[in-house]
Amino acid sequence: MMMKHPLLIKTMLERSRKLFPKKEIFSRCFEKDHRLTYGDMHKRVCRLANVLQSLGAQRGDKIGTFAWNNHRHLELYFAVTCSDMVLHTLNLRLFPEHLIHVINHAADKIIFVDEDLIPLLERVSDQLTTVEKYVILTDKEELPPTRLSPALHYEKLLADAPETFEFPDDVDENSPAGMCYTTATTGLPKGVLYTQRSIYLHSLVQALPDIHCLAEQDVLMPVVPMFHVMAWGLPFSAAWLGTKLVMPGRVLTPDALCKLMEQEKVTISAGVPTIWMSILQHLEAGNKYDLSALRHVAIGGSAASANMIKLLGKFGINVFHAYGMTETSPVVLASRLKSYMKEWGEDRQYALRAKQGLLLPGLDMKIVNNEGNEVAWDGKEMGELCVRGPWIAGAYFDEPERSKENFRDGWLYTNDMVTIDEEGFVLIQDRAKDLIKSGGEWISSVDLENVIMIHPAVAEAAVIAIPDPKWQERPMACVVLKAAEKDKVTEADILAFLEGKVAKWWLPDKVMFIDEIPKTSVGKFNKKALRERFG
């Protein structure tokens, strides 16, 4: 019989301290660059744990963070979770009423806030019912003037605290360690609690060669925000392995990111398609950087098309596609070709790489049709993706009624409509509510968008359903043209381009040219806003 040993985040912190104390963490904060090591980080994490105690935080308390990807946020990731408290990462882009809801609903006790984000919290601070203190993350000697009260200075608190701390050993691996709310495309955001155990397992498994393929020798730049789904758990994976981290801070322009990748010789990065789309356009416009160190980038959060994967490849950016959601820690699927697929034709390979891919080891999945039966593995029959496993939520935090909608018979029903092919590659066809039902048949808005975005004049396209008296619903395309192509392309041009590339009955009834596709707080196409405008 093996030891009954709890799976705790403390183990990864200890490993990085003991084995990789010299390895570097680069962090850009408010345009200032910081370099520290995992050894330095450990000392600061211990100081921070002492600070948390002296501020009155107790085991089980929720500690909010309102911050960019930087070293202080990283220190909070470890000090809070290893102290058996719950790190509640607050999404900077939530509407004020949603922000108020999530802070009060979680009952955050202390909020740590980046200096430049203070105004966003000040707007709502009057309505926060549980927050007792604010700690300001700043490089400045003195605190900026603020209405947040009481407001404390992070660096001063750390400077006055001892640099050793005994993190508790008697933590239950199933106790909550992290917390994130969904971005709520309907209703108020719903909270998901990650446990010590779920973070431990997810961060190890996703480092495997057929997923992020992360190693000590890598230089990892998570562009995906630490304020949403824990930056896909990548900071934890890096600590396990002693991987150098590059934290890009708040300036996420293509130029800033490319320069940083060049300067720090980044080998792996991760982000949503909008980030990589803007980098692609920047490179296509003739801007040059040495990105030769880059091994691959993970794209997820919404679909990366085959065309985008191909075009990024031309600039040496090798994409792998991953899928997940807030409820799943997040990674569930990753699209890596099997060895024998490397012999297949190029188009077939790109088509596979654009799928969301294979289920991660350790998870279970089923894909069920309307009758509740599992669909055939034929790449054609569509059904809803359901998952279960050690890093999949079992319910929303303190929402018994709303939990019943998504969590049934031990499964998470994702609301994502998918197909699965003979090889087990899953393709997300659409979110259930974005599918277009035309005359009893389904049209995938994602597929249609991906074909429209191949048009060389198109910067972005989102497809939504509009009501139709005869067919029930018909597709309408909202298209953003590249700046140099404005007014040069017509609706007829787009439709002519689509002809032959999609079934005739898929052709949009209307093509609307707009200046920008509205985005959600995490940079996804906000189809709800488009439906409200045009639907």
Asked if 522 is part of the footprint of ligand ADP (rule: CB under 6 A), the reply reads yes
In sequence order, the 6+-apart residues with CB closer than 8 A to the CB of 470 are 439
Q: Which of 414, 419, 438, 444 binds ligand ADP (CB under 6 A)?
A: 414
Q: How far is the CB of 435 from ligand ADP (least distance, A)?
A: 11
Q: Which of 321, 336, 355, 527 binds ligand ADP (CB under 6 A)?
A: 321
437 is catalytic: yes
Question: Within 10 Å of residue 182's Cβ, how many Cβ atoms?
Answer: 21
Q: How far apart are alpha carbons 348 and 313 in whole angstroms?
A: 15
Residue 274 in tokens: 């909008």
Active-site choice (265, 442, 482, 491)? 442
DSSP state of 231: G
In sequence order, the 6+-apart residues with CB closer than 8 A to the CB of 13 are 42, 45, 78, 82, 167, 239
Give the total of residues touching ligand ADP (CB under 6 A): 20
Q: How far is the CB of 464 from ligand ADP (least distance, A)?
A: 15
Asked if 267 is part of the footprint of ligand ADP (rule: CB under 6 A), the reply reads no
DSSP-based three-state secondary structure for 86: strand
Residue 84 in tokens: 């058996």
Asked if 317 is part of the footprint of ligand ADP (rule: CB under 6 A), the reply reads no
Query: Considering only 112-120, 178-186, 246-254, 503-511, which stretch makes contact with ligand ADP by CB under 6 A?
Result: 178-186
505 is catalytic: no
Query: Considering only 96-104, 194-202, 317-325, 509-517, which stretch makes contact with ligand ADP by CB under 6 A?
Result: 317-325
491 is catalytic: no
Q: How far apart are alpha carbons 489 and 439 in whole angstroms?
A: 30
Rg value, the chain, Cα: 23
Query: Considering only 112-120, 252-260, 315-323, 395-403, which stretch makes contact with ligand ADP by CB under 6 A?
Result: 315-323
Q: How far apart are alpha carbons 110 and 121 in whole angstroms?
A: 13
Q: Which of 158, 245, 319, 325 binds ligand ADP (CB under 6 A)?
A: 325
Q: How far apart are alpha carbons 240 and 14 in whole angstroms?
A: 9
End-to-end CA distance of the chain: 61
Please, which residue, 235 or 242, has the CB nearer to ligand ADP? 235
490 is catalytic: no
Active-site choice (75, 173, 264, 327)? 327
DSSP state of 265: T
Residue 315 in tokens: 């600039």
Asked if 323 is part of the footprint of ligand ADP (rule: CB under 6 A), the reply reads yes
Q: How far apart are alpha carbons 15 and 9 in whole angstroms?
A: 10
Asked if 182 is part of the footprint of ligand ADP (rule: CB under 6 A), the reply reads yes
Largest CA distance in the chain: 72
Query: Considering only 31-39, 102-110, 233-241, 322-330, which stretch makes contact with ligand ADP by CB under 6 A?
Result: 322-330
Q: Which of 104, 185, 307, 526 binds ligand ADP (CB under 6 A)?
A: 185
* Strand pairing report for 296-299 and 319-324: parallel
Asked if 225 is part of the footprint of ligand ADP (rule: CB under 6 A), the reply reads no
Residues taking part in catalysis: 182, 327, 437, 442
**Which residues are near ligand ADP by CB under 6 A?**
182-183, 185, 229, 300-303, 321-326, 356, 414, 416, 428, 431, 522
